[in-house]
């Protein structure tokens, strides 16, 4: 009887241990939903992903709730965009979390703007003069789908470093994601090709990477500098320029106010197009590839209307 009891106990302990191993997931915290979606694409059922910034809010200015400190405390990996995109809200959360694994330089810290990303608009001198939000270059690189491939590879490498057992699965997931993205890119480029060189204005310097990839020509922004609200003097210069250049569209993110873009639209004839910039920003945008499907369809539809 005693032997049977011991055998039952051993079997129970083995089952508990096995179940714990099978169901243990890596906890990933991503600063934004686009980074979080790539983590889900690569990690699949091996990871549990939490994102901090809502997809409908300005990633420069996020309501960093104290509840995220607990998530960061338990995180195995933190993924941030870098280039000081999250400077106003993420560092204080990370310090409060007291989690060595996700501090810069440690195995659980991933910066998406790592080597491989060609950063645009890098200033000759680092400055936040007059409130400029892009002191190290433009941080909105995820709006180029090819940069999404690079970031996905970074995430895969980090997952393999921390969880070697499942590395082959992560590599397979990465390969599948890249194949799907590569299949979509020619389709997107074909849709945008008739509008090559089209002159547009944006609210904020959010779209340079997108414009470069799909051959749009951004000739100005409603903001005089990134993060500086549009001023009467700036608009008085911008509006005549837009008329002279024949600007077709004004691109704004869905979290921007509408009054000033509509004011400029009325005086220039340029059409306002409201776009999500992260996964989940619209109900149709449930993953990274859908973000480009939606954005390109919105832009193409608007330009066809203007033609």
Q: Are residues 201 and 279 in the same domain?
A: yes
- Of the candidates 289, 21, 41, the one whose C-alpha atom is nearest the C-alpha of residue 173 is 41
Model confidence over 223-253: pLDDT tens digits? Answer: 999 889 999 999 999 999 999 999 999 999 9
**Per-residue confidence (pLDDT) for residue 90, from 0 to 100:** 96
Are 40 and 289 a contacting pair, CB within 8 Å? no
Which residue ranges of the chain lie beneath pLDDT 70?
A: 1-23, 126-132, 307
pLDDT of residue 128: 62
Phi-psi region of 137 (alpha: psi -120 to 50; beta: other; left: phi over 0): left
Give the residue from 185, 201, 234 where a domain finishes: 185
Q: How many CA atoms lie within 13 A of 190 on its CB side?
A: 5
Rounded CA gap, 295 and 210, in Å?
Answer: 10
pLDDT of residue 306: 73
- At residue 133, the pLDDT reads 76
139: containing domain:
2-185
Number of domains in the chain: 2
- Contact between 157 and 43 under an 8 Å Cβ cutoff? The reply is no
Per-residue DSSP letter, 137: B
- Element (DSSP H or E) covering residue 134: none
Do 166 and 248 have their domain in common?
Answer: no
Instruction: Based on the fold, state whether residues 222 and 261 are members of the same structural domain.
Output: yes
State residue 47's pLDDT score: 98
Q: Where are the strands (E) in 83-242, listed by range? A: 109-111, 199-202, 217-221
The CA angle 162-164-165, to the nearest 5 degrees, is 125
Q: Do residues 81 and 35 make contact, with C-beta atoms less than 8 angstroms apart?
A: yes
Torsion of CA 144, 149, 154, 155, to 10 degrees: 100
Of all residues in the chain, what percent are helix, strand and coil, respectively (each to 5)?
Answer: 50, 10, 35
| Domain end among 156, 185, 214 | 185
Q: Do 174 and 292 belong to one domain?
A: no
| pLDDT of 13 | 44
Are 76 and 173 in a shared domain?
Answer: yes
Helix (H/G/I), strand (E/B), else coil: 48:
strand
pLDDT of 11: 46
In angstroms, the CA 7 to CA 191 distance is 66
pLDDT of residue 15: 44
Domain end, chosen from 185, 208, 230, is at: 185
Positive or negative torsion for Cα 174, 111, 23, 93: negative
Q: The CATH number of the domain where 23 resides is what?
A: 3.40.50.1980
Of 199, 192, 294, give the one whose Cα is nearest residue 244.
Answer: 199
Whether residues 65 and 86 share a domain: the answer is yes
Same domain flag for 65 and 140:
yes
């Amino acid at each position: 009887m005693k032997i049977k009891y011991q055998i039952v106990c051993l079997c129970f302990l083995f089952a508990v241990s096995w179940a714990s191993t099978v169901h243990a997931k890596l906890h990933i915290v991503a600063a934004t939903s686009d980074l979080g979606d790539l983590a889900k694409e690569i990690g699949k059922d091996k990871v549990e992903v939490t994102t901090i910034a809502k997809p409908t809010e300005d990633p420069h200015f996020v309501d960093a709730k104290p509840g995220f400190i607990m998530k960061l405390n338990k995180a195995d990996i933190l993924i941030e965009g870098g280039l000081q995109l999250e400077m106003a809200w993420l560092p204080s959360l990370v310090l409060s979390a007291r989690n060595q694994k996700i501090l810069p330089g440690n195995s659980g810290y991933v910066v998406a703007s790592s080597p491989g990303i060609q950063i645009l608009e890098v200033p000759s001198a680092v400055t936040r003069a007059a409130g400029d939000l892009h002191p190290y270059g433009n941080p909105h690189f995820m709006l180029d789908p090819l940069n999404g491939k690079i970031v996905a590879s970074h995430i895969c490498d980090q997952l393999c470093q921390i969880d070697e057992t499942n590395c082959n699965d992560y590599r397979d997931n990465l390969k599948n994601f890249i194949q799907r993205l590569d299949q979509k890119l020619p389709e997107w480029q074909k849709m945008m090709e008739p509008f090559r060189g089209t002159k547009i204005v944006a609210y904020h310097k959010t779209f340079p990477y997108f414009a470069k990839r799909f051959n749009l020509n951004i000739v100005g922004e409603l903001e005089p500098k990134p993060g500086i609200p549009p001023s009467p003097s700036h608009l008085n210069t911008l509006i005549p320029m837009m008329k002279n250049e024949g600007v077709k569209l004004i691109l704004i993110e869905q979290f921007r106010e509408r009054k000033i873009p509509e004011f400029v639209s009325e005086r220039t004839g340029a059409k306002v197009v409201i776009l999500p910039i992260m996964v989940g920003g619209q109900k149709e945008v449930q993953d990274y590839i859908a973000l480009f499907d939606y954005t390109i369809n919105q832009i193409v539809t608007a330009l066809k209307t203007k033609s």
